[in-house]
Amino acid sequence: MQNLVNRLLPSTSFDALRHFARTSKQTPYDKKILWNGVSYAGYAYGLLHGCRQARKLNIHQVTAVELGVAGGNGLLALERHSKAIEKHTGVSVNVIGMDTGDGLPEPKDYRDIPYYFSKGDFQMNEVALRKRLTKGRLVLGDVCSTFGDLIAEADFAPIAFVSFDMDYYHPTKAVLDQLAVKNNGNKALPRTFMYFDNTIGNPEVLYNEFAGELLAISEFNREHTQSKVVRDRSLLAHNLNFAWYHKIYVLHQFDHELYGTNIGQQGPGALSLKT
């Protein structure tokens, strides 16, 4: 299988590789994700590796959150991925979507990129979406308050994956601050996979480090010494350049009670002298 892919890569487009991943029954699930062979592959990647981490930490139930549901296509994809990933990892996944329910609110200032986004963008048909959901939970309201209420629930399972797609700086920064261990008491995994949709755009939106999600990440890292949001550098090892590769981040929480728990499987014989 890998030899076939190595032969394909120099001579084919990413679209052809994606088609191969979608149609080949031989493609392993994790490779199907990496080769963009599933819809919302970034969601699948983050949740899969979050659940793999949870399993190694002996955590049997986690939460996946989409922040900014809009019409609901991403939330439905997250549901589908959660069912497949539960089978692959044995970790149960609670799926939650959070949104205002009325589209974007009014931008507060330049940090919310008002030249591109405006009040009422990305409306939701709540009735239609709820009929389509099979296991996901929809939480409506201002995420600056509803997110704190959510993670404060007594039976809340730790977050393994969260997608940020709220477009604005202000709600993104508010949620990130609430995820820091000192604020939430280990309500997320020690290394939480994150997808930031509004970091790669087009020449009209021009995402940058001084507004939107990128500013929220930058400020969070500057303000929190024991929690840092960083790019997933493992994706740099792949000879591919799908856009979602650049949207995957990880929240490292150094003061999490499980951060130092060893999940490596190298063993004494790793890198032993070859005869």
Summarize pLDDT for 106-161 with one digit per residue, the tens: 999 999 999 999 999 999 999 999 999 999 999 999 999 999 999 999 899 999 99
Query: Which one has a higher pLDDT value, 164 or 7?
Result: 164
| Contact residues for 61 (Cβ-Cβ < 8 A; gap 6+) | 91, 92, 93, 94, 157
Q: Kindly state whether residue 33 falls inside one of the protein's structural domains.
A: no
pLDDT the model gives residue 22:
64
Rounded to 5 degrees, what are φ and ψ at 53? Answer: -65, -45
Q: Kindly state whether residue 3 falls inside one of the protein's structural domains.
A: no
Q: Give which of 147, 220, 214 is closest to 184, Cα–Cα.
A: 147
Q: Kindly state whether residue 35 falls inside one of the protein's structural domains.
A: no
Query: Which one has a higher pLDDT value, 239 or 132?
Result: 132
Query: Predicted confidence band at 11 (pLDDT cuts at 50, 70, 90)?
Result: very low
Mean pLDDT, residues 168-197 taken together: 90
Q: Kindly state whether residue 266 falls inside one of the protein's structural domains.
A: no
Q: Kindly state whether residue 25 falls inside one of the protein's structural domains.
A: no
pLDDT digits (tens, 9 = 90+) for 252-275: 999 999 999 999 988 888 888 887
Domain CATH code at residue 139: 3.40.50.150
Q: Kindly state whether residue 205 falls inside one of the protein's structural domains.
A: yes
Give CA–CA dist 62/208, Å, rounded.
Answer: 32
CA quadruple 230, 236, 240, 242: dihedral, nearest 10:
0
pLDDT the model gives residue 222:
97
Residue 9 has pLDDT above 60, yes or no: no
Q: What is the extent of the structural domain holding 185?
A: 42-253
Q: Kindly state whether residue 106 falls inside one of the protein's structural domains.
A: yes
**For residue 129, what are the CA distances in angstroms to 76, 123, 164, 239?**
9, 12, 19, 37
Number of folded domains in the chain?
Answer: 1
Q: Kindly state whether residue 243 falls inside one of the protein's structural domains.
A: yes
pLDDT the model gives residue 2:
53
Query: Predicted confidence band at 18 (pLDDT cuts at 50, 70, 90)?
Result: low
